[in-house]
């Protein structure tokens, strides 16, 4: 190995090292902008490691010094959110190390859209349901926010449009909220109560009391109340006497009782069995016989511990609007 003479002008610069007489080591340094960019990424990485979660170790990780603060419900000893005297969730400021979940909560509470939503919530807080429905602006706000709440909490059972779901099996059926046939009543206060406290519906089984022809005759009479084509009038007349057992809840005329959640049997709005979708009259008859013999239980969970009173009020306005009232 020997040193080469001075690099000539115009030639590529070499380090001065030569092998085998003509093999030279060229000196091509990286562009200065690239080097500064590379050094910048190193500095950025060090700052990032200091500020944010970065390195795993043992069964945890470095959390960084950056924090995020947001409002969080106060959880009581029973594991449920505590409430203020006015029913609002009791809140506290919670600070966590930077993480995407905490950042999401913060943005949901402090973003421009969240602040605008809070202004509208404060505006409708002391308005009556009738005032909210009568004002186009507040009604549009109730519909917009109610639509989102309905999609998050109600649509899984009642469908995105509130159309419900009817099945041959009553346990797999959910009432239609868009047909204006209200099982428990359509007042705003009643809807708020149902959303807040949930619903526990029960129709006792009468299979031990009615069997065979008596069961069929009673089912014929029930179907005759809604004028189903194919009813055997003679059998329905025999079943009318047995309907006295049902009249205590559904009324002597079969028009139901919203106070106890007994459906109207005289309309075409079947809430728990798919009578309208049955292929023929015999299938309808079997479905009604099954409900009479086996009874019916339906539950809706309560949302009073998940939603604020204002959210429940707006959801009630939206649900009532689904029924066209």
- pLDDT per position as a tens digit, 273-304: 889 889 999 999 999 999 999 998 888 999 98
What span, in angstroms and rounded, lies between the C-alpha atoms of 105 and 23? 65
What span, in angstroms and rounded, lies between the C-alpha atoms of 269 and 193? 23
Q: Which residues of the chain have pLDDT under 50?
A: 1-4
- Six token digits for residue 181: 């046939």
Q: What is the CATH number of domain 202-299?
A: 1.10.760.10
On whether the CB atoms of residues 81 and 305 are closer than 8 A, the answer is: yes
pLDDT the model gives residue 226:
93
On whether the CB atoms of residues 255 and 222 are closer than 8 A, the answer is: no
Residue 311 vs residues 197, 308, 315: alpha-carbon distances, Å:
14, 5, 6
Same fold, 123-198+301-322 and 202-299: yes
On whether the CB atoms of residues 243 and 253 are closer than 8 A, the answer is: no
What span, in angstroms and rounded, lies between the C-alpha atoms of 264 and 183? 7
pLDDT the model gives residue 248:
92
* β-sheet bridge partners, residue 94: 70
* β-sheet bridge partners, residue 68: 96
Q: Domain ranges for the chain, please list them.
A: 32-61, 67-110, 123-198+301-322, 202-299
User: Locate tokens 């091509």: which residue?
Assistant: 28
- Six token digits for residue 129: 């349901």
- Six token digits for residue 290: 């099954």
On whether the CB atoms of residues 153 and 304 are closer than 8 A, the answer is: no
- Six token digits for residue 70: 């947001």
Q: What is the CATH number of domain 123-198+301-322?
A: 1.10.760.10
pLDDT the model gives residue 1:
46
One-character DSSP codes across 261-302: TBPPSSSS--SSS-STT-SSHHHHHHHHHHHHHH-EEEEE--
On whether the CB atoms of residues 274 and 289 are closer than 8 A, the answer is: no
What span, in angstroms and rounded, lies between the C-alpha atoms of 112 and 118? 10
Q: Does the global pTM surpass 0.85?
A: no
What span, in angstroms and rounded, lies between the C-alpha atoms of 114 and 12? 62
Residue 24 vs residues 1, 10, 27, 107: alpha-carbon distances, Å:
10, 16, 10, 61
Q: CB 45: neighbour CB atoms within 10 A?
A: 11
- Six token digits for residue 169: 């099996």
What span, in angstroms and rounded, lies between the C-alpha atoms of 278 and 256? 23
DSSP secondary structure letter of residue 11: S
What 3-state DSSP class applies to 18?
Answer: strand
pLDDT the model gives residue 85:
81
């Amino acid at each position: 190995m020997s040193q080469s003479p001075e690099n000539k002008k115009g030639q590529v610069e070499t380090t001065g090292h030569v092998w085998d007489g003509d093999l030279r080591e060229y000196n091509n340094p990286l562009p200065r902008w690239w080097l500064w960019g590379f050094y910048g990424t190193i500095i950025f990485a060090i700052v990032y490691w200091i500020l944010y979660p970065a390195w795993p170790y043992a069964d945890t990780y470095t959390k960084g010094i950056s924090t995020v603060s947001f409002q969080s419900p106060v959880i009581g000893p029973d594991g449920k959110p505590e409430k203020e005297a006015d029913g609002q969730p009791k809140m506290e400021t919670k600070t966590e190390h930077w993480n995407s979940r905490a950042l999401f909560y913060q943005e949901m509470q402090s973003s421009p859209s969240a602040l605008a939503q809070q202004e509208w919530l404060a505006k409708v807080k002391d308005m009556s349901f009738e005032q909210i429905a009568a004002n186009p602006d507040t009604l549009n706000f109730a519909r917009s926010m109610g639509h989102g709440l309905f999609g998050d909490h109600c649509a899984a059972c009642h469908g995105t449009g509130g159309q419900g779901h009817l099945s041959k099996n009553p346990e797999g059926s959910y009432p239609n909220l868009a047909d204006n046939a209200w099982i428990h009543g359509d007042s705003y206060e009643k809807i708020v109560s149902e959303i807040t406290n949930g619903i526990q519906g029960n129709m006792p089984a009468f299979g031990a009391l009615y069997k065979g022809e008596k069961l069929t005759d009673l089912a014929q009479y029930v179907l005759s109340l809604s004028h189903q084509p194919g009813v055997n009038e003679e059998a329905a007349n025999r079943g009318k006497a047995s309907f006295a057992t049902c009249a205590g809840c559904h009324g002597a005329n079969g028009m139901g009782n919203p106070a106890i959640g007994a459906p109207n049997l005289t309309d075409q709005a079947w809430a728990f069995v798919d009578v309208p979708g049955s292929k023929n009259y015999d299938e309808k008859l079997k479905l009604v016989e099954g409900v009479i013999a086996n009874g019916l239980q339906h539950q809706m969970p309560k949302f009073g511990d998940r939603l604020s009173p204002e959210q429940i009020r707006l959801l009630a306005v939206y649900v009532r609007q689904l029924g066209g009232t």
